[in-house]
């Protein structure tokens, strides 16, 4: 926990036959995982510190709306390949 380094990571997954998992992109911080899916699936948001098994989706909740407002721009920066430390 005291180590320095990245504060966020880009998370990506791509559709692979025959599995029915959609293509997705997201951002993982030390506390949250926010994922956007291709297609009709809504995004998801999990507090991985309080809910490590990701059983409670915070997307669309008042708490989640605040967090998504912070993470969505961060995800866009990561997708563009921008450095986060500068």
Longest dimension (CA), the chain: 42
Beta bridge partners of 25: 12, 36
| d(C-alpha 41, C-alpha 79), whole Å | 20
What are the φ/ψ torsions at residue 37 (nearest 5 degrees)?
-105, 145
Q: Please give the model's pTM, rounded to 2 decimal places.
A: 0.86
| d(C-alpha 7, C-alpha 24), whole Å | 20
pLDDT in tens, 4-14: 677 899 999 98
pLDDT in tens, 42-71: 999 999 999 999 999 999 999 999 999 999
């Amino acid at each position: 926990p005291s180590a320095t380094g990245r504060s966020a990571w880009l998370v990506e997954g791509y559709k692979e036959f025959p599995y029915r998992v959609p293509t997705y992109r997201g951002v993982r911080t030390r506390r949250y995982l926010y994922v956007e899916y291709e297609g009709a699936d809504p995004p998801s948001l999990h507090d991985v510190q309080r809910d490590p098994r990701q059983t409670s989706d915070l997307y669309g909740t008042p708490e989640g709306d605040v967090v998504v407002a912070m993470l969505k721009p961060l995800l866009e920066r990561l997708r563009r390949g921008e450095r986060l430390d500068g």
